[in-house]
Amino acid sequence: MNPLFADAVTAFSKPHIEYAQLWPLILVFGVACLGVLVEAFLPRERRYLVQVVLTVAGLVGALVGVGFVAHGLDSLGGGAARGLIAAEGTIVVDGPTVFLWGLILLFAIGGALLFAERRLEGGVSAFAGQAAALPGTEAERQASTHGLDHTEVFPLMLFAVGGMMLFPAANDLLTMFVALEVLSLPLYLLCGLARRRRLLSQEAALKYFMLGAFSSGFFLYGVALIYGFAGSMQLSEINEAVRNDVANQALLLIGMGMLAVGLLFKVGAAPFQSWVPDVYQGAPTAVTAFMAAGTKIAAFGALLRLFYVAFGSDRWTWQPMFWVIAVLTMAVGSVLAVVQTDVKRMLAYSSIAHTGFLLTGVLGVQSASELSDGQVTSLQAVLFYLATYGFAMIGAFAVVTLVRDAGGESTQFARWAGLGRRSPMLGGLFAFFLLSMAGIPLTAGFIGKWAVFTVALSAGAWPVVIAAVLFSIVSVFFYVRVIVLMFFVDGEGELASVTRPSLLTSGTIAVGVAATLLLGVVPGPVLTLAAHAGEFIR
């Protein structure tokens, strides 16, 4: 036998997996696989209950697990960071990771509860009875008269959640790409599964898929170029290469730009935002709620890790790019939101504007030596903003699912006129979410906005902060306009009314409201938690 070959065989060792730290992630994927088996072996009428219980139990279990993992993380560098690099250097379980895991799982539970809601459609879920049946055909009619349901949405969602958890935890570019695909593919599918307005939903799915695939291409090309530059996929080694300034700068810059395109597409930043309104509008609202919160959190986690860890020492190069993109994103999001006449589209543009505000926090990175004792760091600010944003978004979309007329959900502004007077409770809740998104004090959104603006200003990005303030004023306008519409306008013609949901949806809304209020009045504990998460480890 070739001695070299023999050597290679004996040198092969089993990869060491830190199950103690990674089990929440593995649990989610495991339950997803179990869900697929349930689809295969259980009779149709029993699937729904089993899937719901399985999904929620899996997510709650993982959330509890994240709590334990977070508690057990070792402190590094004198308390500046905590955690470890696991799975042979491909996954990092550090403070920010577990914080993001917690958020993603929390919003995934909310999403799962919305998915499971069956009272609104009269005993079936909001998903298509038979996705393969063409809209308007006999097959579709049959599916709906038989009360068919796609319970596959639950394992699909779990796979997406797993991808979302892996995305910000990835420590090398290849894992990051895999996570990106794992989180995206199920979402493409979920977007196309609406029971009502199926053509719109399928169009949204196709659009999302096409553009998503295109941006994945960018990301992958960027991975290749950065590998060419640094000779490694590992973020820490890329950082070394950047620091030593070893090789071709052009490769680095182009590669960095391509990676940014891929990630900025996922977070919905301008000029890569064009999919957001169409997809948010066309997708089933429960999916929109889950996606708006979850994807953004995961993608911002990955963006932060990539740019802070791998390209952190080269931040003078990328900060100007983020300045431009942040301002552009806020401008596009808030200005275009003003002219929308559909609640879901308005929320979609508002989500774009929020991306801009989040980027304002991202570009406010400063090295530890520039910060005074106890000052808010940019990572802390962005993590906190993501929490506030997620609660408000999921709550707002959950409210949207309840406003209906004969044709299902009713999202036209004209139909919402006077809604707050017909059902003051629901109107008040929606108004509260909008006020939080607008950043009015005593809501979570205000504290979040304050935090990201502060870090940007500390880093000297005052032009961005001024732009952010101006666009905040614009965004207040369109939020308040909806409140005016709900409370002070007498509607004409056919108006939407509020359907009584089951405990699943109302519970989600209640948690969203409570968290938004609590984070606005006593943000201390969560801010401390975000500070406690410490830095990324390399």
Partner 1 sequence: MNEFPWLTVLVAVPLVGALLVAFLPKAPGSALPKLVGLGVSVLTLALGLAIAAQYDNGGGMQLTESHEWIHAFGVHYALGVDGLGLLLILLTVLLVPIVLLGSWHDADDANPAAFFAWALALEGLSLAVFAATDVFLFYVVFEATLIPAYFLIGGFGREGRAFAALKFLMYQLGGGLVMLASVIGLYVVSAQAGRPSYLLSDLANLDMSTNAERWLFVGFFIAFAVKAPLFPVHTWLADTTEKATPGTSVLLVCVLDKIGTFGMLRFCLGLFPEASQWATPVVIVLALISIVYGAFIAIGQDDLLRLIGLTSLSHFGFITLGIFAFSSQGASGSILYMVNHGIGTAALFLLAGFLIKRRGTSLISEMRGVERTAPVLAGLFLVAGLATLGLPGLSQFVSEILVLIAAFDHAWWAGAIAVSGIVLAAVYVLWAYQRVFTGPDTPDGLPVRDLDRRETGAVAPLIVALVVFGFFPMPLLNVSNPAVYDLLQHVGVSDDPPVVPAAGTDSHEEGQQ
Could you say whether residue 457 binds partner 1 (CB under 8 A)?
Answer: yes
Could you say whether residue 436 binds partner 1 (CB under 8 A)?
Answer: no
Q: Least separation, in Å, of the C-beta of 447 and partner 1?
A: 8
Could you say whether residue 463 binds partner 1 (CB under 8 A)?
Answer: no
Q: Which region among 88-96, 334-342, 396-404, 432-440 touches partner 1 (by CB under 8 A)?
A: 432-440
Question: In the set 134, 442, 503, 514, which binds partner 1 (CB under 8 A)?
Answer: 442
Buried-exposed string 294-328: b where 16+ CB fall within 10 A, e elsewhere: bbbbbbbbbbbbbbbbbbbebbeebbeebbebbbb
Q: Which region among 36-44, 100-108, 471-479, 494-502 touches partner 1 (by CB under 8 A)?
A: 471-479
State the Cα torsion 400-405-410-414 to the nearest 10°. -120
Question: Backbone phi, then psi, for 142, in 5-degree steps?
Answer: -65, -45
Q: Least separation, in Å, of the C-beta of 375 and partner 1?
A: 5
| Cβ closest to partner 1, residue 251 vs residue 474 | 474
Distance CA 474, CA 459 (A): 24
Could you say whether residue 324 binds partner 1 (CB under 8 A)?
Answer: no
Q: How far is CA 200 from CA 37, 192, 205, 208, 278, in A?
A: 31, 8, 9, 12, 9
Could you say whether residue 414 binds partner 1 (CB under 8 A)?
Answer: no
Question: In the set 49, 484, 503, 514, which binds partner 1 (CB under 8 A)?
Answer: 484
Which among 269, 327, 287, 309 has a CA at the least distance from the CA of 85? 309
Could you say whether residue 19 binds partner 1 (CB under 8 A)?
Answer: no
Could you say whether residue 221 binds partner 1 (CB under 8 A)?
Answer: no
Could you say whether residue 341 binds partner 1 (CB under 8 A)?
Answer: no
Q: Least separation, in Å, of the C-beta of 459 and partner 1?
A: 9
Could you say whether residue 441 binds partner 1 (CB under 8 A)?
Answer: yes
Pairing mode, strands 497-498 and 81-86: unpaired
Distance CA 201, CA 283 (A): 5
Buried-exposed string 511-533: b where 16+ CB fall within 10 A, e elsewhere: bbbebbbebbeebeebbebbbeb
Could you say whether residue 488 binds partner 1 (CB under 8 A)?
Answer: yes
Q: Which region among 85-93, 295-303, 307-315, 464-472 touches partner 1 (by CB under 8 A)?
A: 464-472
Distance CA 296, CA 390 (A): 9
Could you say whether residue 45 binds partner 1 (CB under 8 A)?
Answer: no
Question: In the set 440, 498, 510, 518, which binds partner 1 (CB under 8 A)?
Answer: 440
- Give the contact letters, 364-383, x = binds to partner 1 (CB under 8 A), - = no: -------xxxxxx---x---
CA torsion sign for 275, 280, 282, 287 is positive
Helix axes 315-338, 343-362, angle to 10 degrees: 160
Q: Which region among 97-105, 190-198, 238-246, 477-485 touches partner 1 (by CB under 8 A)?
A: 477-485
Q: Least separation, in Å, of the C-beta of 465 and partner 1?
A: 6
Q: Least separation, in Å, of the C-beta of 480 and partner 1?
A: 6
Burial label for 178, CB within 10 Å (0-12, 13-18, 19+), is middle
Could you say whether residue 523 binds partner 1 (CB under 8 A)?
Answer: yes
| Cβ closest to partner 1, residue 126 vs residue 337 | 337
Could you say whether residue 80 binds partner 1 (CB under 8 A)?
Answer: no
Distance CA 155, CA 222 (A): 31
Which among 469, 447, 169, 459 has a CA at the least distance from the CA of 322? 459
Q: How many residues does the chain have?
A: 538
DSSP E strands, 373-428: 403-405, 408-409
Which spans of this chain sit near partner 1 (rule: CB under 8 A)? 371-376, 380, 435, 438-442, 446-447, 449-451, 453-454, 457-458, 465-466, 469, 472-473, 476-477, 480-481, 484, 487-489, 522-524, 527-528, 531
